[in-house]
Amino acid sequence: MRTSTSSLVSVALALPALTGATICKNFVDSERLQELIKLEDLLAGSRKLQELADAHGGNRAFGSGGHNATVDFVYDTLTALNYYNVTKQPFTELFSYGTGKLIVGGEAVEANIMTYTASGTLVDTPIILAPGLGCTPEEFPATVAGNIALVQRGSCTFAAKAGSAKTAGAAGLIVYNNVPGSLSGTLGGVGNYAPVVGISLEAGQAILADLEAGPVTGSLDINAIVEQRVNYNVIAETKGGDHDNVLVLGGHSDSVGAGPGINDDGSGSIGILRVAEALSKFKVKNAVRFAWWGAEEFGLLGSRYYVNQLNGSATELARMRAYLNFDMIASPNYVNGIYDGDGSAFGLVGPAGSDAIEKEFEKFYDSKGAKHVPSAFSGRSDYAAFIENGVPAGGIFTGAEVLKTEAEAALFGGQAGVAYDKNYHTARDTYDNLNHEAYLTNSKAIAHTVATYALSFDSLAPVNLSKRRYDAARAQFTRRGSHGHAGEHSGPCGGGDTI
């Protein structure tokens, strides 16, 4: 069929008016942006991530097919909106993944391999207790040679323990926790280490009891790979708005290797994606920059890469008026945790302005008649790179492996004495691992803060770079200080603990 030239022209002319692409948009407003956030759209996004994991071996870990597909999905969704300047930012990092099996006295013990561990297979091998903390080779008895050493967590890094065990001649190492609960840690990089797993305090005590009674043997099978992998951050900034006053917000797009990561952090990834889509229906006064960070689970690598490549540029950093982080927003046994930016609950104070951001989230929950609690601002997710540069930050965290208290169960329902997310960092963090009510409410909380700051940063003090430098130095101090605590568990995205 032949189409006349004149009808083509009229279609082309009519198009902008029909779609309202540029002329009919209003400035964003919190209520209207929130209305566009629908549970069915959030769940459709989560289902998509589950499918991508299912099609690629069950996970979306960085550099994997599942993560590549996630990055492409986010990138394609955003570019189709024609509202953002979207970039894929590549970076290369060392990847380590594997599986580990530990059997003691014929019974399987839940064990997590440490990131960057060596591989090894030991069958019916004596388990030898190192009575100290195993921080030097001398702290291992000579009898560990060729055998599996057992040592408690604490006092020095896992890397120091695994290196000392190797030097002492141990063929394998089990580190048991020094606080209740399981242990997943990292050696921080490749090195000359004994194959090493972490186990819970309870499992460690059971082996200690067996050792009191007589010799104990175990089988340890660690199958690990360590390799350089290319990975991506996806960054999308509104074409409109003031690019000298930018709201930055993000979540991480990668999962752990153990599972599909649909709550951690599929929930934050989809929450911000749906808000990005909804925002495209409006005009903004301040530019909004969304980020999907790669390789968070390996030590906040994507967000750190992003900030590092700015080379400390005062101009670039000064443009960032605030950073918001959304890492796990739909935990099955959730609390609505707001990062404690003012330090009132946990004593870890964020850069100036973080207090105002915390209040903005509080205002949102209060307006919905929803409960909220403060969540420690400990630098254990992607906001760390921002607060270390003095950028005010905030965000939401619905909880990971820590157990819900009675008081929290009274506020939010759910089960006291059960982890906020009992499927955290496992193969069970699937599409079925989401609390729908929390997912919707917290995605609307994202919409509220995005709308608020896209219109005005009046509630935050103007950027003062010397104040930011002061706050940055303090943030680095609290970050270092927060490590040595014996009771400090892995935060939202553990597996990154080094000590």
Ligand X SMILES: *[C@@H]1O[C@H](CO)[C@@H](O)[C@H](O)[C@H]1NC(C)=O
Name the binder of 388 from Zn ion, ligand X, none, CB < 5-8 A by kind.
none
- Cβ proximity to ligand X: between 21 and 230 the closer is 230
396, containing H or E segment: strand 393-397
- Dihedrals φ, ψ of 100, to 5°? -140, 140
How, if at all, do strands 84-104 and 320-326 pair? Answer: unpaired
Structure tokens at 84: 């953002």
* Angstrom distance (rounded) from CA 72 to CA 441: 27
Q: Which is nearer to ligand X, 133 or 248 (CB)?
A: 248
**Pick 95 or 453: Cβ nearer ligand X:** 95
How far apart, in whole angstroms, are the C-alpha atoms of residue 324 and residue 397? 11
Out of Zn ion, ligand X, none, which partner does residue 264 contact, by CB within 5 to 8 A per kind? Zn ion
If contact means CB under 5 to 8 A according to the sort of partner, which of Zn ion, ligand X, none does residue 265 touch?
Zn ion
In this chain, which of 264, 355, 401, 408 binds Zn ion, going by CB under 5 A? 264
Tokens of 393: 């930050």
Can residue 64 be called a binding residue for ligand X (CB under 6 A)? yes
Site string for ligand X, 217-236 (x = CB under 6 A): -------------x------
Compute the least distance from the CB of residue 346 to ligand X, in Å: 23
Strand, helix or coil at 448?
helix
Please report how close the Cβ of residue 65 comes to ligand X at its closest, in angstroms: 4
Question: Which span sits near Zn ion by CB under 5 A: 10-18, 43-51, 262-270, 386-394?
Answer: 262-270
121 binds, among Zn ion, ligand X, none (CB under 5 to 8 A by kind): none
Note whether 435 and 9 are within 8 A (CB).
no
Asked whether 346 and 377 are in contact (CB, 8 A), the reply is yes
User: How far, in Å, CA of 414 to CA of 411, rounded?
Assistant: 9
Quick one: which of 240, 247, 198 has its CA closest to 84? 240
Establish if 311 lies at the interface with ligand X (CB under 6 A): yes
Q: Does 313 bind ligand X (CB under 6 A)?
A: yes
Beta strands in 105-216 (DSSP E): 107-109, 112-113, 120-129, 148-152, 172-176, 196-199
Rounded to a whole number of angstroms, the minimum distance from the CB of residue 42 to Zn ion is 17
Q: Following DSSP, what letter does each residue of 26-42 receive, concatenated?
A: PBP-HHHHHHT--HHHH
**Distance from first CA to last CA of the chain, Å, rounded?**
71
Rounded to the nearest 5 degrees, what angle is found at the Cα of 253, between the Cα atoms of 243 and 251?
Answer: 50
Among 25, 43, 81, 87, binds ligand X (CB under 6 A): 87
Q: Which is nearer to Zn ion, 241 or 302 (CB)?
A: 302
Residues in region 233-262 near ligand X by CB under 6 A: none
Q: Which two tokens stand for residue 98?
A: 């594997």
Q: Is 139 a catalytic residue?
A: no
493 binds, among ligand X, Zn ion, none (CB under 5 to 8 A by kind): Zn ion
The entry of ligand X, Zn ion, none near residue 470 (CB within 5 to 8 angstroms by kind) is: ligand X
Q: Does 65 bind ligand X (CB under 6 A)?
A: yes
Residue 82 binds ligand X (CB under 6 A): no
Other C-beta atoms within 10 Å of 210: how many? 15
Q: Are 58 and 253 in contact (CB under 8 A)?
A: no
Q: Show contacts with Zn ion in window 310-369 (CB under 5 A).
A: 327
Judged by CB, which is closer to Zn ion: 132, or 181? Answer: 181
Those residues with Cβ within 8 angstroms of residue 407's Cβ, 6 or more apart along the chain or in another chain: none
- Segment contacting Zn ion by CB under 5 A, of 274-282, 432-440, 461-469, 489-497: 489-497
In angstroms, what CA-CA distances link 116 with 152, 242, 291, 496?
19, 43, 27, 11
Q: Report residue 161 as tokens.
A: 């323990």
Question: Footprint of ligand X on residues 437-456 (CB under 6 A)?
Answer: none
Instruction: Check binding of 382 to Zn ion (CB under 5 A).
Output: no
| Two structure tokens written together for 436 | 């729908």
Q: How far is the CB of 375 from ligand X (least distance, A)?
A: 27
Span near ligand X by CB under 6 A; candidates 182-190, 203-211, 308-316, 328-336: 308-316
Closer to ligand X by Cβ: residue 310 or 370: 310
Identify the active-site residue in 277, 296, 360, 401: 296
Measured CA to CA, the distance from residue 176 to residue 111 in angstroms comes to 9
Shorter beta-carbon distance to Zn ion: residue 147 or 490? 490
- Selection from Zn ion, ligand X, none that 68 binds (CB < 5 to 8 A by kind) is ligand X
Residue 103 phi/psi, 5-degree rounding, is: -125, 125
Instruction: Considering the complex, state which of residue 264 and residue 355 has its C-beta at the smaller distance from Zn ion.
Output: 264
Q: Which stretch binds Zn ion (CB under 5 A): 13-21, 68-76, 118-126, 256-264?
A: 256-264
Tell me the residue type at 298. F
The whole-angstrom separation of Cα 391 and Cα 393 is 6
Q: Which of 231, 259, 179 is nearest to 67 (CA)?
A: 231
State the nearest-atom distance from the C-beta of 310 to ligand X, in Å: 5
Chosen residue from 221, 237, 254, 265 binding Zn ion by CB under 5 A: 265
With binding defined as CB under 5 A, does residue 493 bind Zn ion?
A: yes
Question: Which residues are marked as active site?
Answer: 296
Site of interaction with Zn ion (CB under 5 A): 264-265, 327, 492-493
Site of interaction with ligand X (CB under 6 A): 63-65, 68, 85, 87, 230, 309-311, 313, 316, 464, 466-467, 470
